């Protein structure tokens, strides 16, 4: 492992640690989701990092992939169980971490279940540990606490400019003998729920990612594609980021994005929801395996 790369991972982790502290300070009922996301993203940049993906502020039955849109008036609610999921990269080397805040005061046990599952997962992490073994530990912990793990959400590897690299790290016991390797970074992220343990894609998406910079005729679509390729590469980006930087009208932007989606130049990350009325909690950290030892980056 190039030690320069390792240093960048460590730096990303440190910035993320601070950003999470800031996020916990700022997140309050009544706070606008948009302001919260933008403050955290600005904090990352002020501290010489870049967001590795838009700050995710998924509440209650939404498990992942919600980030506010550019004119979003939504606020954090008194009874929200809010997942704040933040990614930081330094020259493409990514740290990814999430925390759940229970404003309702009614779901402390579920928050704890995800946190305990993460802790127990980390206790079996080592070079050569199988991802199946990690999933087993997570499932066992969450079920013991009386909840269900979300079976179709996983942790993942991290590679240069790739936020979700192989292998997926399951949140349930699974025969998967892929092994954790020395010199690599991994995000482990248990989700606990009082629902079925299965999320579905919503029709709404605010987050997108580049697939392939193919030739497109629409000028605005081409502009967006060139901008995204240069600025984010394959990392996920928010529609509001494009809007802020490229100053296209909402109509022009929507038309352009639709064309890019249709041509498969980009793909959407739709919001992922448990059943209405259910709650999902999440805990996540990024680790690095260095010289046979596990280091927590966040
Ligand atoms: Mn995350
Ligand atoms: Mn992750």
pLDDT in tens, 167-206: 999 999 999 999 999 999 999 999 999 999 999 999 999 9
- Contact between 146 and 107 under an 8 Å Cβ cutoff? The reply is no
pLDDT given for residue 57 in this prediction: 98
Cα 155 to middle of ligand 2, angstroms: 6
At 163, is the pLDDT very low, low, confident or very high (cuts 50, 70, 90)? Answer: very high
Cα 215 to middle of ligand 2, angstroms: 31
Cα 46 to middle of ligand 2, angstroms: 23
- Contact between 32 and 72 under an 8 Å Cβ cutoff? The reply is yes
Cα 97 to middle of ligand 2, angstroms: 7
Structure tokens that stand for 180 in this block? 């954790």
Cα 285 to middle of ligand 1, angstroms: 8
Ligand nearest to C-alpha 98: 1
At 160, is the pLDDT very low, low, confident or very high (cuts 50, 70, 90)? Answer: very high
Tell me if the domain spanning 207-269 has CATH number 1.10.10.10. Answer: yes
Q: What is the pLDDT of residues 34-92, one digit of tens each?
A: 999 999 999 999 999 999 999 999 999 999 999 999 999 999 999 999 999 999 999 99
Q: Read out DSSP for 23-48?
A: HHHH--TT-BHHHHHHHHHHHHHHTT
Instruction: Please report which residue ranges of the chain form alpha helices under DSSP H.
Output: 3-26, 33-46, 108-124, 131-144, 219-231, 239-246, 250-262
Give CA–CA dist 21/62, Å, rounded.
Answer: 23
Q: Residue positions in the annotated binding site for substrate?
A: 65, 164
Ligand nearest to C-alpha 86: 1
Percent helix, strand and coil across the chain, each to the nearest 5: 35, 30, 35
Would you identify the CATH topology of the domain 3-202+272-296?
Creatine Amidinohydrolase (3.90.230)
Q: pTM, whole model, 2 decimals?
A: 0.97
Q: Residue positions in the annotated binding site for a divalent metal cation?
A: 85, 96, 156, 189, 284
What are the domain boundaries of the chain? 3-202+272-296, 207-269
At 2, is the pLDDT very low, low, confident or very high (cuts 50, 70, 90)? Answer: low
Q: What are the strands of the beta sheet with 148-149, ordered from one edge?
A: 148-149, 191-193, 280-282
- Contact between 257 and 238 under an 8 Å Cβ cutoff? The reply is no
- Contact between 226 and 176 under an 8 Å Cβ cutoff? The reply is no
- Contact between 96 and 284 under an 8 Å Cβ cutoff? The reply is yes
At 1, is the pLDDT very low, low, confident or very high (cuts 50, 70, 90)? Answer: low
Q: What is the pLDDT of residues 222-243, one digit of tens each?
A: 999 999 999 999 999 999 999 9
Residues catalogued as catalytic: 85, 96, 156, 164, 189, 284
Q: Residue positions in the annotated binding site?
A: 65, 85, 96, 156, 164, 189, 284
At 103, is the pLDDT very low, low, confident or very high (cuts 50, 70, 90)? Answer: very high
Q: Is the model's pLDDT at 162 over the cut of 80?
A: yes
């Amino acid at each position: 492992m190039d030690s320069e790369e390792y240093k960048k991972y460590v730096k990303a982790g440190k910035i993320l640690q601070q950003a999470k502290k800031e996020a916990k300070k700022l997140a309050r009922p009544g706070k606008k989701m948009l302001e919260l996301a933008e403050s955290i993203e600005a904090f990352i940049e002020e501290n010489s990092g870049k967001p590795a993906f838009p700050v995710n502020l998924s509440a209650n039955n939404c498990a992942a992939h919600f980030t506010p849109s550019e004119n979003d008036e939504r606020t954090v609610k008194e009874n929200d169980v809010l997942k704040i999921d933040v990614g930081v990269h330094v020259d493409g080397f990514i740290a990814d971490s999430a925390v759940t805040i229970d404003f309702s005061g009614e779901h402390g046990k579920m928050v704890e279940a995800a946190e305990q599952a993460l802790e127990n997962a980390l206790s079996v992490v080592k070079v050569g540990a199988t991802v199946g073994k990690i999933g087993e530990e997570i499932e066992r912990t969450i079920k013991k606490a009386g909840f269900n793990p979300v079976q179709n959400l996983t942790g993942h590897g991290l590679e240069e400019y790739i936020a979700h690299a192989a292998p997926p790290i399951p949140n349930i016991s699974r025969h998967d003998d892929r092994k954790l390797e020395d010199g690599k970074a991994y995000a482990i992220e248990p989700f606990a729920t009082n629902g079925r343990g299965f999320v579905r894609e919503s029709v709404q998406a605010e987050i997108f990612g580049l697939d392939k910079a193919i030739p497109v005729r629409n000028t605005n679509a081409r502009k967006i594609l060139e901008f995204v390729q240069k600025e984010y590469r394959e990392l996920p980006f928010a529609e509001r980021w494009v809007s802020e930087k490229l100053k296209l009208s909402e109509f022009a932007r929507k038309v352009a994005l639709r064309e890019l989606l249709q041509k498969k130049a980009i793909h959407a990350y739709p919001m992922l929801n448990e059943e209405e009325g259910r709650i999902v909690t999440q805990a996540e950290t990024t680790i690095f395996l260095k010289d046979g030892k596990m280091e927590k980056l966040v």
